[in-house]
Amino acid sequence: MDTERRLSYEDGFRKGKYEGGERILARFLPDMTLLPDISVEHVISLGVEQVRHLLKPLMGVEEVFQELEKALQERAPCSLVRLGDGELLALAHDTVLSAELVRREGTFLEYSGMSIPDYAHRDQLAEAVRKASIIGVPVAPEPNFQGLLFPVFQAYGIQIAPRRFTLSTINYLLAEEGYLTRLIQGRRVLVIGNTAHSLAAVLADKGAVIAGAISPVKGIHDIPGVLEEAAEHDYDLAVVAAGIPAVILVQRLAEQFCKVAIDFGHLANLIVEGNIQIS
């Protein structure tokens, strides 16, 4: 069985490399020619040098921190949202991919707060991405990560050039490198999500003044109620851990209430469970 599995992997890898690399390269070679002693990887590296001027730089963790800190000091709106495979699959359904394929690929989407199809909230999600101050994006080349990012942006007419991007894992970097502690110390923090009360206790230990905790957030249909409840609190910074709805919530908290809001993601669970320590 192990031999059969190994042979299947070896054969699949070889054929996949051909279909995704060598076959494409062969289409661009002149007829009646060979390209010896150079790999597909080398050809790609040479090509990357030719498009280096088109590369879009990502904001580093220090730069993102400075942007958030500046907004907090100036009481200006700032929204940090993040796109993972869940958000990208939700955006892609019946635009880039069929809803049927998205349901098959994203069996976790309902757990993340959105059922497929849902065109109204799909379009609200796209609008939130369009209006966000900083967008965390995946750099992994897999089909449901960066493989969907640019097709999704193109489908909604979201231009890359004017937008500011960072890593989709920026929430972890902020927490692990000490920037989150600097952001919350002495500031009024509103915590939103299913782990809100437990997370609030941890943040309070790090110096945050907890302005409130809104929980639970069961899905995308809870967004209006969460926003209504948020309007009753006086706070400087909102941290939102609510799956796919977090993207919409974060952008609207910034836009409607002139707040700084961060899409906290699954990091909230890891902090509450003690698997990640805030520096």
pLDDT at 274 over 80: yes
pLDDT at 20 over 90: no
Q: What percent of the chain has pLDDT over 90?
A: 84
Select from 270, 271, 265 the least CA-distant residue to 83. Answer: 265
pLDDT level of residue 23 (50, 70, 90 thresholds):
confident
**DSSP β-bridge partners for residue 191:** 213, 239
Residues shown for the chain? 279
State how far the alpha carbon of 249 is from the alpha carbons of 112, 121, 239, in Å: 14, 12, 10
pLDDT digits (tens, 9 = 90+) for 228-261: 999 999 999 999 999 999 999 999 999 999 999 9
* Mean of pLDDT values over 52-57: 92
Q: Considering only residues 2 and 243, tell me which one the structure prediction assigns the higher pLDDT.
A: 243
State how far the alpha carbon of 36 is from the alpha carbons of 14, 32, 249, in Å: 18, 13, 54
pLDDT at 1: 58
pLDDT at 61 over 90: yes
* Mean of pLDDT values over 61-90: 99
pLDDT level of residue 6 (50, 70, 90 thresholds):
confident
pLDDT at 245: 98
- Cα dihedral 264/269/275/277 (nearest 10): 40
- The Cα 228–Cα 222 span in angstroms is 10
Q: What is the token pair recorded at 255?
A: 């836009």
pLDDT at 14: 82
Contact 78, 260 (CB under 8 A): yes
For 89, residues 6+ apart whose C-beta sits below 8 A from its C-beta are 97, 102, 105, 106, 109, 144, 148
pLDDT digits (tens, 9 = 90+) for 151-198: 999 999 999 999 999 999 999 999 999 999 999 999 999 999 999 999
- How much is the pTM? 0.90
What 8-state DSSP symbol labels residue 236?
Answer: S
Contact 259, 237 (CB under 8 A): yes
